[in-house]
A and B are shown apart, each in its own frame.
Chain A
Amino acid sequence: EAQVTQNPRYLITVTGKKLTVTCSQNMNHEYMSWYRQDPGLGLRQIYYSMNVEVTDKGDVPEGYKVSRKEKRNFPLILESPSPNQTSLYFCASSFGRAPEQYFGPGTRLTVT
């Protein structure tokens, strides 16, 4: 089944404790992206990657890191999480610049 998977689905952590949210897709997509979703703000792009070893900042990259060492994986790293990073996070992928992106199920992160 073609899909984007994220882990964990739910995470509660404390300020300053490094964490990684994994994202994997099995569709051989070149483009992958991370979004955060907050009430009233819709989805905002954090980082994106056009291909392996190519990453770029989105609209809200501060406090986040990403890497793209393999085509199928695009982990999101929070080196020192803060409460303002409490949010619902989505990973997405697509073929090149195709407008249709496939989204993962989301990761609910709470930072206390």
Chain B
Amino acid sequence: GESVGLHLPTLSVQEGDNSIINCAYSNSASDYFIWYKQESGKGPQFIIDIRSNMDKRQGQRVTVLLNKTVKHLSLQIAATQPGDSAVYFCAENDFGNEKLTFGTGTRLTIIP
């Protein structure tokens, strides 16, 4: 598969444990914050988003937390599985300039 980043922050988690991936954003005017998952050799895939007027949103096995005070976003993955191994990107969406700005990504490895 393709190598999407040789100098990414990495996180290794035992299968079945919970993982937390963190992201700092820069634009306080962003309207949405989004998490994408990129598996080796594939394009990014949408996981979950959260509006700027929310603090928390839950999906299937995933929770996103937004702290606007410190411009911090996190993705929690519960009961991790081998298929969760991937690079995870946060992104911020500013409707005003119609742009989606991505972070540099974190590589999550699930240890069997």
Contact = CB atoms under 8 A, between A and B. Distances in A.
Interface of A: 4, 33, 35, 37, 39-45, 48, 50, 56, 58-59, 88, 90, 92, 97, 99-106, 108
Contact of A39 (B3, B42, B91, B93): B3
B4 A88 contact: yes
Contact of B6 (A40, A59, A97, A106): A40
Given A45-B99, A97-B95, A99-B34, 12 more contacts: A39-B4, A39-B5, A40-B6, A40-B8, A42-B89, A48-B98, A48-B99, A50-B98, A97-B93, A100-B49, A105-B42, A105-B43
Q: Interface majority SS on A: helix, strand, loop or mixed?
A: strand
Secondary structure call for the B interface: loop
B100 A106 contact: no
A49 B29 CA distance: 21
Contacts of A105: 41-43
Contacts of A90: 43-44
Contacts of B102: 35, 42-44
Most buried by B among A40, A42, A108: A42
B100 A45 contact: yes
A42 B104 contact: yes
B1 to A, nearest CB: 10
Interface in B1-58: 2-8, 32, 34, 41-46, 49
Contacts of B100: 33, 45, 99, 101
A104 to B, nearest CB: 5
A28 B4 CA distance: 29
17 contacts: A4-B43, A39-B5, A42-B103, A45-B100, A48-B99, A50-B98, A92-B43, A99-B46, A99-B100, A100-B34, A100-B46, A100-B49, A101-B44, A103-B45, A105-B42, A105-B43, A108-B2
The 5 closest A-B pairs by CB, nearest first: A103-B43, A42-B104, A99-B32, A43-B102, A100-B46
Contacts of A58: 99
